[in-house]
Structure 1
Amino acid sequence: MKYKLIAIDMDGTLLNSQNIVSKKNSEALHKAKEQGLYVILSTGRILTSALYYGQAIELGDPIIACNGAIVSSGNGDNILYDKSIEVEASKELIKLAEENHIYYHFYDRDTFYTREIKDDVVRFYDSYDDNLGDHKMNIEVLDDPVKFLDRKPSIYKFVFIDNDKEKLLDFRMKLSYINGVEISSSWENNIEVMSSGISKGYGLKYLIDTLNIDKSQVVAIGDNENDIPMFKISGLSIAMGNGESTIKENADIVTDTNDENGVAKAIEKHVLNI
């Protein structure tokens, strides 16, 4: 078989609008595994959430979380690679967000830190949190996030959210002047920041080098800007029909939407040839 590994984004890609992996998508992933392919979840989500989904659909393969800042074994027992944001850079990120009145939260491996509870964000996490079991995510509200950073926690990703697109674009430009960070986005109203050089592409390259797989043997499937670096480390890049125009412009193929089993259709047609 030409391909040896499939890297798949979660939100807007593998998951439908109800944050569920459809039966058809799950069956396609297992058909690929039966043919000897690695099936890798590659997500911007916090590690504990990615582990839950990986185990719920019984993949067992390594997981790329926090946009490539963490590469973990499928059961979460071994961290194969990780790179957190430097404390001083994190403090600058917080200062800039507060000066510009931009909502933010940040992650370590299993805890979501915020200064305020934002209802739509909490609803997003609540949509799956009740089912996480051993991988339940913690939420900690911080009175003084900067002081908290003095403990030197391992923070892997910041998320900034604002529905004013012009304000968010201006904020993104200001973020670009902070040293030691990588900037991306996974949704029209957010900006995601990791440590410098970190992306899903970096995490994927680390993994395929470890597994001795050439990038020509990799299939990547995604729906947004943060998936583009993953496309560059693949022999076949597939954008979702519901994806942003920028991801479609960088893809070899466009499949159906996440509510139309686009992942399953792409795998069956272009990987399994059925």
Structure 2
Amino acid sequence: MVPPLALDIDGTLTTADGRIDSRAFELLPGWDAPVVIATGKAFPYPVALATFLGLSPDVIAENGGVVHVDDETTLLADLDRPRAVVEAFEERGGEIGWGGDTTVNRWRETEVALSTDADEGLLRRVAAEVPGIEVVDTGYAFHVKSTDVNKGEGLVRAADRLGLDPESFVAIGDSENDVSTFAVAGDSYAVANADEAATAAADVVLDEGFMDGTASVLEALRDGRGPSR
């Protein structure tokens, strides 16, 4: 039997240039256990991905701010304080970035994401002035979010709704925001491109990066083998 999975998207199910790797569509449909997509992206993105993969849309979005399992959606944080931080950041001359692309934050309900081109120092100084707010660097964006939520707490909630122990999950990720997921999952794998925080927190650091690493774990689990380390 295969274990349930908690999978990040960016850097984990993608190629090095940010596309969803086609092997996700070969390995995940028909996975004979729950698959929870746990991401920093806004809620619609993991729901769409799960749907196109033919999976139940069980997702943790916005770094744990949104949990959707079994057609029930729970918002675990509000947008007011993150938005206020970003507004203050802009008033002090900071720019959100994204080249005018408004879709990055259009559907976010619990956090705000800024381009990694944004002034990180200024952003962190402004965020530090607001209790209960933090900036998480995923390598793809700076996420201004509540300290009360994270992917790991989201996985605990998702597992409970699915009637599973979070320790029964295998988690795969690449970034600082996956550390909390690694802490509650039974087995955790950091792909080779993972940042220092994820690498330090994972049970296993893989030799291969991006979907190459993820595929090696999924294939080994499917075939009853231990993933290469």
TM-score range, shorter chain: 0.7 to 0.9
Partner of 1:48: 44
User: Is the counterpart of residue 242 in structure 1 residue 193 in structure 2?
Assistant: yes
Of the three residues 71, 76, 94, the one matched with 1:102 is 94
Partner of 1:6: 5
Of the three residues 171, 178, 199, the one matched with 1:220 is 171
TM-score scaled by structure 1?
A: 0.71
What SS does structure 1 have at the residue aligned with 2:178? helix
Counterparts of 1:118 and 1:21, CA distance in 2 = 20
User: Is the counterpart of residue 81 in structure 1 residue 96 in structure 2?
Assistant: no
TM-score scaled by structure 2?
A: 0.83
RMSD: 2.8
Letter in 1 for 2:98: K
Change beyond 3 A, Cα 1:253–1:95: same
What SS does structure 2 have at the residue aligned with 1:72? strand
User: Is the counterpart of residue 185 in structure 1 residue 137 in structure 2?
Assistant: yes
Contact 2:40 2:61 survives alignment (8 Å): yes
Contact 2:39 2:60 survives alignment (8 Å): yes
Give unmatched runs, 5+ long, in structure 1.
105-116, 126-136, 141-152
Of the three residues 54, 58, 65, the one matched with 1:58 is 54
Partner of 2:84: 92
Counterparts of 1:139 and 1:211, CA distance in 2 = 29
Partner of 2:161: 210
What SS does structure 2 have at the residue aligned with 1:103? coil
**Cα distance per residue 1:154-204 (max 9 Å; x no partner):** 83111133537xx5145324413312434322117x421223411111111
Contact 1:62 1:73 survives alignment (8 Å): yes
User: Is the counterpart of residue 160 in structure 1 residue 114 in structure 2?
Assistant: yes
Counterparts of 1:210 and 1:139, CA distance in 2 = 28
**Larger of the two Rg values belongs to structure:** 1
Counterparts of 2:152 and 2:75, CA distance in 1 = 14
Aligned length: 224
Counterparts of 1:27 and 1:169, CA distance in 2 = 42
**Cα distance per residue 1:17-56 (max 9 Å; x no partner):** 344333333322236x1xx311111111111122221111
Distance apart, 1:272 and its partner CA: 4.2
Contact 1:160 1:192 survives alignment (8 Å): yes
Distance apart, 1:242 and its partner CA: 1.1
Counterparts of 1:191 and 1:65, CA distance in 2 = 15
Change beyond 3 A, Cα 1:101–1:25: same
